[in-house]
Amino acid sequence: MNITVRVWRQKNADDKGRMVTYGVENVSEHMSFLEMLDVLNEQLTLSGDDPIAFDHDCREGICGMCGVVINGIAHGPEVTTTCQLHMRSFEDGAVIDVEPWRAGAFPVVKDLVVDRSAFDRIIQAGGYISAPTGSAPDAHAVPVPKDDADHAFDAATCIGCGACVAACPNGSAMLFTSAKITHLGLLPQGQPERESRVIGMVEQHDHEGFGGCTNIGECTSACPKGIPLDTIAQLNRDLLGALAHGKA
């Protein structure tokens, strides 16, 4: 198949940026979306142009490094990561718009590459359990009900790709933040820091310049790992509880 891609090109953080159109011929339907970009980049390199910069690493949908907005949808038309999207999801002759995640807290570094370090700082603000190495009791010392462990796992599958922010009309990172709060808050090991965690992480979330959640639900629908929307309600419950205890 032959396709046309319109790609956001931006030399660096200070550049204004614009959409640039390229044709890609002989695209196999079995190619992944990123492999299609590889092929385009080989063409660009040979013609002496600057290849398109995009983040990617594991290419098996788990590292969370890749992610672009394809035709206005984070990670494109299938509910998966960009690396696991295949060209068979597009039609021959399609014109595909490719843009970086857009959020005030995710400044563009180059082309399709954005800076997501704000996520790391949200984790630094409390997204952990303080368990210094060597201090742990036996793993069977505290049983965890299976349901809690399973739900904690569902929330813990977040890969930190940022699709939730790119999809949220408000540029909110509430789903990312709430996934971590739910993961740790459901486990007995996470209880001692539960209230300080939610306060710290939400404060950092706001401080980074992410928007406020208005419960639209685009985040969950774009999430390649299907992080459930009720994690946001869980965050709010924890936050109200912590505020009621005067933890702010």
**Token code pair at residue 59:** 């290419």
Residues 215-244 that bind other proteins (CB under 8 A): 215-218, 220-222, 226, 228-230, 232-234, 236-240
Near other proteins by CB under 8 A: residue from 4, 21, 23, 58: 58
Instruction: Kindly state whether residue 25 participates in binding other proteins, applying the rule CB under 8 A.
Output: no
Near other proteins by CB under 8 A: residue from 1, 39, 203, 247: 39
The least CB distance from residue 224 to other proteins, in Å, is: 11
The least CB distance from residue 106 to other proteins, in Å, is: 7
Rounded (10°) angle between helices 117-124 and 194-207: 150
Could you please report the per-residue DSSP string of 102-115?
--TTS-EEETTEE-
Question: How many Å separate Cα 117 from the centre of its chain?
Answer: 11
The tokens 């046309």 sit on which residue?
Answer: 4
Residue 183's closest CA among 145, 156, 144, 220? 156
Contacts with other proteins, 76-105, as mask; x by CB under 8 A: --x-x---x-x-x--------x-x--xxxx
Residues 117-146 that bind other proteins (CB under 8 A): 117, 119-120, 123-125, 127-140, 142-146
Asked if residues 201 and 195 have their Cβ atoms less than 8 Å apart, the reply is no
